[in-house]
């Protein structure tokens, strides 16, 4: 969404939504409900007076449109085990934020079988396991940003017809894992262009960890 109203109104609306979310969490404890409100670079600077989030910046876009920049001011991400609860919280968000934001895109994702995406491969295998470990990776511990985090959102459009014309072996070489068993293919056997090789990032010899959340979306008819 993009901001239409004053920053103070946005700040108050965020607090109102947080209160509404807490009520839903208390009402549906078994839904494992959670939500995040995140802000783009310019909006955060306006909200914070330029304090904190020193690593926050706009995505520049890459690949001549293959990875375009679609920068917005506000992200509202809602997740639970129940679609009806998700939708109710989304309605509560719209009520809380009202006319101070203009929704630019609304996407309803879902968890697929065995945490696979629509390609049929398991997504997020190397995710940090357990709440404490994930908190260690993703949540800022100290300073003015303590308790906060950074979020990077990507929406991929897969050509499933083209993918399904490939042999399973070629698909596995493209990803770097076996499709059914979800086993990592040895580095000497998979190509350097495989997805797994490309995203195995290190800094000073230490692996860079993030917490990923894969949520397929779309319609069965395409």
The predicted pLDDT at position 138 comes to 95
Token code pair at residue 57? 């910046």
DSSP for 126-188 reads: TSPPSHHHHHHHHS--SSTTTT------------HHHHHHS-HHHHHHHHTB-TTT-PBPPTT
Q: What is the DSSP letter of 116?
A: B
The predicted pLDDT at position 153 comes to 94
**Dist. CA 58–CA 79, nearest whole Å:** 24
The predicted pLDDT at position 126 comes to 86
The predicted pLDDT at position 205 comes to 84
Q: Are 10 and 109 in contact (CB under 8 A)?
A: no
**Dist. CA 109–CA 98, nearest whole Å:** 23
Domain boundaries, the chain: 1-106, 112-139+157-222
What residues contact 95, with CB distance under 8 A and at least 6 apart? 20
84 assigned to active site: no
Annotated catalytic residue, options 123, 142, 186, 200 = 123
Please identify every stretch of the chain with a pLDDT value under 70, giving residue numbers as ranges: none
**Dist. CA 14–CA 3, nearest whole Å:** 12
**CA 143 vs CA 135, 146, 170, 210: distances in Å:** 16, 5, 47, 20
Q: Where are the alpha helices (DSSP H) in the chain?
A: 7-27, 41-48, 83-97, 131-138, 160-165, 168-175, 195-199
pTM for this entry: 0.91
């Amino acid at each position: 969404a993009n901001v239409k109203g004053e920053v103070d109104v946005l700040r108050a609306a965020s607090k109102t939504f947080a209160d509404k979310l807490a009520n839903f969490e208390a009402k549906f404890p078994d839904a494992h409900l959670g939500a995040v409100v995140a802000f783009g670079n310019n909006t955060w600077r306006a909200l914070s007076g330029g304090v904190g989030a020193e690593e926050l910046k706009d995505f520049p876009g890459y690949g001549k449109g293959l990875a375009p920049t679609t920068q917005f001011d506000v992200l509202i991400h809602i997740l639970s085990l129940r679609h009806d609860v998700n939708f109710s919280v989304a309605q509560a968000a719209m009520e809380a934020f009202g006319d101070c934001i203009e929704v630019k895109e609304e996407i309803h994702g879902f968890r697929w079988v065995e945490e696979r995406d629509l390609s049929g491969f398991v997504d997020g295998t190397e995710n940090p396991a357990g709440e404490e470990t994930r908190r260690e990776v993703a949540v800022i511990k100290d300073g003015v940003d303590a308790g906060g985090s950074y979020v990077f959102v990507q929406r991929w459009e897969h050509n499933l017809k083209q993918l399904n014309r490939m042999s399973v072996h070629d698909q596995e070489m493209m990803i770097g894992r076996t499709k059914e068993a979800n086993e990592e293919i040895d580095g000497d056997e998979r190509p350097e262009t495989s997805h797994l090789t490309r995203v195995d990032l290190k800094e000073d010899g230490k692996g860079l960890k993030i917490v990923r959340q894969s949520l397929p979306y779309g319609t069965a008819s395409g």
